[in-house]
Structure 1
């Protein structure tokens, strides 16, 4: 482990850490300027139109809701079953969940065009709309994640004398009481996280006019996406934190969680994908190859980025025991799994709008683009490309989430007060070999199991 970027025991950041923070701040500022420009000019500066009413903002909203829900579920399940085995990951998982839901919630505002429209969800909600339920649960979930994070860290904050403890004292009785409270918090967190992403999935599943979305399997697939992306993000951030901060990564638990990630990816890609696509393929044709190609062959590059990059490659890396014990393999598989889930969202929304539910000429007007052209264009199919404004706003919000995680890892106690024994970690030689590309021997890694 190296602490050259920043060390949570020191008062400040090192030079690389300051560069990282500066980059994030610049991206956040660029996002704010782009949003100010969008507010002054309107949604016309985006690539959305009458055909594509949802674009990059909603796609990323779905993605970050999944990251948040998955992270909270993964962190809460052990606590619900009174196990402290994965406590080293619990606080980090809740921090990632909180940061992700902040990003997801804020992504709603630029998509609305005028932020004050969000007040309508509170003052005059129409409870027949799943949008209202989704907006409400995002607010409740965000507040709960913040309280849950404080519950997991407040005793250690009190031990440090931090003001963030808000008067809580570090006592043995208090720690025992917090363990019981953590169980009840987990009992609330798990169904809340499931409800969060299920309701998001139902927004799509209830669109009867769009055959690609109208399916009872959308919500279960959203939950599986959350588990894959949430666990993958937790592993990626934990490995990076172990490399660049004082966070101590229990190597044997990484291998165990990598197995779980492989199972999640297999269920999501191998089973649920076939379960969703096969009935549609069967209904379209009764020929063997037509049915087979209907659910195995995608209709866009997004499909292959989702299934091949985000499914086959992670499974290949995680299915081999000797690879699963190497950090570089787990890190790579996790990154690819996240990329796959990201492009599943692209496939869901961008291709979902390609075909209009009005297929007769002249179709619908596509409206004007940000340059003022296209007012007389009518079409029965659509196209969408995010503009630089959308990209800058989205990057700014993602940078804000990364900033929350960075400061959280720096200033919050990420692990239980009983520090992990250094003997449970790999030797410096093995660690360095893994960081340099995994040239260390299997024996060095197995010694930590």
Structure 2
């Protein structure tokens, strides 16, 4: 009997849209050069399934189960995901290779000792995973290990062991024999995730998928992967730094944009109880180019140290290096300083660093960034007991930001005496000196004149 050929399809790596021929621009999401060739299943492998009787419910007849959240006992993680994982949900845990994703997954497995957990590691053998678990002092008699990467075998093991929680490490290495494309491809990743999601919902499991991110810092695989799962957690940090930040990008059952901060030690990831104090504890108070800002991450105020260094350039094109601050925003602030304050910094090398490996996108840190740059330019330290809060506009004005009282209270809690804030902001009396400024020119007159 003649073997039926598999069908060639073209899939967009951004949105997962399927085409029968190659196109330069995806008509679904508008992305260019993202449509790649994939080998789909042959007609004989596609099984026709009859749908069961559709179900529907009146909302008043349903009860919300408040006990369906499963706290891990890891405080920083629980605050990020809204109190714990949800039964019947799929969570995508992503991050750079070697950042600590598998370490965190093992620690989650260790903290849920009363739950039967299946850990599928297709990147390591069960023996290698056990060595890692022993190093982390993970002792859980209900933890089962497997090195399978074939989806059908994984689903069989799930039926056999009947776990309450499943960890897949990693989703990019899982494949199905129904598709001839290689593991990690758009089609394989999407279809494997879809089937795991279906099993998770049917059995009421708690599933964690570990995924990688690309060199551009986005989650590897099709964009539809993020839409399929219930929760997306991004793990950030520098491998040369002790700190790891987990950030919730999507959560169907709780808040988003919350962050949790850990310190990487030999025994694993240790939650940081007071990150504001930790990030500013080693600050040199009499050094130029150093200021303190208050950033809001989710609902948490964080005091962070912003450092700037300005030096005479030896290159035809001056260097601009930003670590933790959006490069485009930094470029805008530099243009505002040069144009509105008439300070010639175009020909100078400028380096910006957020201490601790944090990445911020809070406009309220603008004023602190500008002050750090000016402090380094004039080589004059700023007041070590001062904090700077405010957004800087294109005409050099200092604008109000949200959650101002929360930021001020956090600064006062850690002993700061003075806070530079926008002039038009109206606040009740505080046990701290509030210095109101209208523009960066007024800032220069108050501090650097």
With normalisation by structure 1, the TM-score equals 0.24
More strand by share: 2
Counting helix residues as a fraction of each chain, which structure ranks higher? 1
Question: Which one has more relative contact order, counting CA pairs under 8 Å at least 6 apart?
Answer: 1
TM-score calculated relative to the size of structure 2? 0.24
